[in-house]
Structure 1
């Protein structure tokens, strides 16, 4: 099995991808998280908020895409709670993650955004629409699903994860552990000497127990009852060789969201970064499609009024 260093050395060679600067943003009453805010070509450029995958950070999932997107859009990334330099809390909750996105948007003066999520981030994006519909002008859901516990072996797996994570809640609640995790993440965030070293630091900035808590929360996700109510332009990016979230489930989600467009990538689950030359052009197409449809909806509503 490849070590993290082997994986990074062999696959993270993206010399053209620039890593944007960011800052730790304080969210009143919630905590602080690491955010990047890359301006678009104009002050009124549409805003895109990017939500990352499990056990990653905002930049580790999205750094190949930030610069191409910023040619047309304002681009925001954030570390979701318990990941990287994200919020530390007593519990990990997808509901809280969605509220965090809304809090970041408010702090940055964003009234409406196209919310883009990949894997875990796509589940959070679904919840952002559910909990803060006024914020969401459109959705792009990559490697997404409506639920994870379908087959019997999956129910057994997630039940086991939830049980084992229950015993670790005392660790998560410890102030000392929380402070140590935050200090470790900050210590890892020095100036990168190259993309490989930077990516390895990002990988190590989320602890295994934090990823386990998030995985247990994902096992409880079930959005099928309300997917049909999504009323904003939506694009679904399906990874056509995905073994983590089976491709048929991604295609089923595209059929469940009214009017969703389908955009296919001939890659596996890690293709968001490891085959970014395939993924990024499809992402740009999906975001452009949602943005165009968003403007059409706005014009139609103005005529109706």
Structure 2
């Protein structure tokens, strides 16, 4: 399905009902809007795991502008704030008054911006391995070093500091990217990347700083909704220590942090049973 926001048309998919029969009434369930990472990937990264939650919520899988099956739009609009505003316009178009935003990796940064810019829309945040949490390059490189040694550290340093050469990209794919998770998770990630519709131009735009500042510190005081932060203990991109710092920075929100052992970047993919157990408790507390 598609919905027009004016300058772009966005693709989305839906799983689960917003209204379910319960005796003589229809009971309303939470709507979760799923925001993929990349940036430049698509909603397929959430499938099939999120079917697990279709028994308690309506799930909306959204391809952000420039990604997947949605219109690309102008490169100048590939920014955190535009993606966040797109989410608000999308929810308005579908008459979703209060949504729980689920953001993974860069999708978490989009969710944070949306919660700050449109607080009346967002009933809650679920942030998985979110990008943009206060961290340092050295902290990230230390995890690569611990898990893959000097070769992985060097490959990550070149790629993460903006080296776009073929040599740096190849080294990253061989030595850095596999450390997003376990060996099994790495093989699974390759399959997901193969079936996803990736827009490499958006990813390059991001790596060159075109999406805007990746540090959301200036937005965090405006976030007031309940927030669940999930982080993998072995995540080199969004380290667990950084997730804890993000929680402390959300001074006006009620925040729960769950660090999942044995998982890297993307807890829903690598530890779905534990990750979804935390989400179920979070949604139950929301009511």
TM-score, length of structure 1 as denominator length: 0.67
In structure 1, list runs of 5 or more residues that go unmatched: 1-22, 165-194, 296-305
Equivalent residues in 2 for 1:45-56, closer than 5 Å? 45-54=29-38, 55-56=40-41
Distance in 1, Cα, partners of 2:48 & 2:67: 19
Partner of 1:210: 202
Contact 1:233 1:293 in 2 (8 A): no
Partner of 2:16: 39
When residues 62 and 134 of structure 1 are mapped into structure 2, their CA distance, relative to the original with a 3 A threshold, is: same
Cα deviation for residue 151 of structure 1 reads: 4.0
Partner of 2:273: 281
In structure 2, list runs of 5 or more residues that go unmatched: 21-26, 142-155, 166-187
- Secondary structure of the residue aligned to 1:225 is coil
Distance in 2, Cα, partners of 1:63 & 1:231: 29
When residues 202 and 157 of structure 1 are mapped into structure 2, their CA distance, relative to the original with a 3 A threshold, is: closer
Alpha-carbon displacement from aligned partner over 1:63-111 (angstroms, at most 9, x marks no partner):
1333111110000011112121123122211111111111221222211
Partner of 1:88: 72
Contact 1:148 1:218 in 2 (8 A): no
Distance in 2, Cα, partners of 1:246 & 1:196: 19
Aligned to 1:67, which of 46, 51, 62?
51
Count of aligned pairs: 235
When residues 217 and 288 of structure 1 are mapped into structure 2, their CA distance, relative to the original with a 3 A threshold, is: farther
Contact 1:235 1:289 in 2 (8 A): no
Partner of 1:268: 264
Contact 2:102 2:111 in 1 (8 A): yes
Query: What is the RMSD computed on CA atoms of the aligned residues?
Result: 3.1
Are positions 1:102 and 2:84 aligned together? no
Contact 1:140 1:286 in 2 (8 A): no
Cα deviation for residue 116 of structure 1 reads: 0.7
Could you list the runs of 4 or more consecutive aligned residues of structure 1 that deviate by over 6 angstroms after TM superposition? 152-159, 195-198
TM-score, length of structure 2 as denominator length: 0.71
